[in-house]
Amino acid sequence: MTAKQKDIYSVDVIGFSQTELMALASVFELSSRRVPKFARHNTVGTPPDILLVDANDMEAVRLLLERNASGLIPTILIGDSNRGTHWPVLPRPIRWMKLFQAFDAAIAPPSSEAQSKPVEAAAVTNVQASTPVSIAPPEIPVAKTVGEMSGAWPAKNPRADWVLVVDDNHTVREFMKSKLAAFSFNVDYAESGEQAIGFTGQKHYACIFLDVIMPGIDGYQVCKLIKSNRSAQKTAVVMLTSKDSPFDKIRGSMCGCDAYLTKPVDEEKLLETIARFLPG
């Protein structure tokens, strides 16, 4: 019988620099908007659901072997080697989307074949960088993308933040829909600057993703009009543009935009932008 999936899973973070820990804090904060959620493990005496380990820190690897001697806790390594284990390893720099996919894979039910295999673990007392360690966890299925995990577009949640995507290109709107689908936002779509202005006059948006070049008034004008409205001054405006010259960025800053995302939009930068302007 397959175990029922929980709404939230705890992740014990072992090792990592202060800079990476700050980035991981944003990852966990953004995770609070999706299902299942992943949070830092902080319950004493209770094992975590997942271990996230700095594979380049040998003290962190030693702690991994100490805390997961049975090999039963799914583990994700970050670094340039799996240190002789069979746990999945992600290279640096830490990529948010890859990490979410690895988390999803770690909690996915193992195949029946994997369930029938015994879990092997080696008792290790002293770990050196060159010492191979044999730990064979159950096989982990390949993670689906966030879009695949989310399924249908969610119903409107009256308590969730509202986001507005403004772009006359259907492909861009579908891209933004697929990337925002896993997070708890209510999303409206506008195909022109005039339509966007109409929306902002009726509703407060926490963030607006705004195309620069559109029929009618352009994104710069729309941004200026939005920012001139006192009730919308706290709305974050993120420009979506194929123009990334210094002049265009200065122009965007002058009209009050909060950030730039260059098309085609990089999903890692999109997640960072969501975490920055739409905290959990």
- Reported as a single tens digit per residue, the pLDDT across 14-54 is 999 999 999 899 899 888 888 889 999 988 889 999 999 99
pLDDT the model gives residue 63:
95
Of 120, 144, 168, the position where a domain reaches its end is: 144
216: Cβ–Cβ under 8 A, 6 or more apart, which residues? 192, 193, 194
Give the whole-angstrom CA distance, residue 143 versus residue 103: 8
Q: In this structure, are 126 and 234 located in the same domain?
A: no
Q: CA 69 to CA 12: how far, in whole Å?
A: 15
Q: pLDDT below 70 — which residues of the chain? A: 1-4, 110-159, 279-280
**The domain spanning residue 103 has which CATH number?**
3.40.50.2300
pLDDT, position 157: 66
The pLDDT assigned to 161 comes to 85
Length of the chain measured in residues = 280
Q: What does the pLDDT read at residue 57?
A: 96
Structural domains counted in the chain: 2
Domain for residue 106, yes or no?
A: yes
- pLDDT at position 142 is 37
Domain that holds residue 200: 148-277
pLDDT score for 89: 96
pLDDT in the model for residue 141 = 36
Cβ 133 vs Cβ 122: under 8 Å: yes
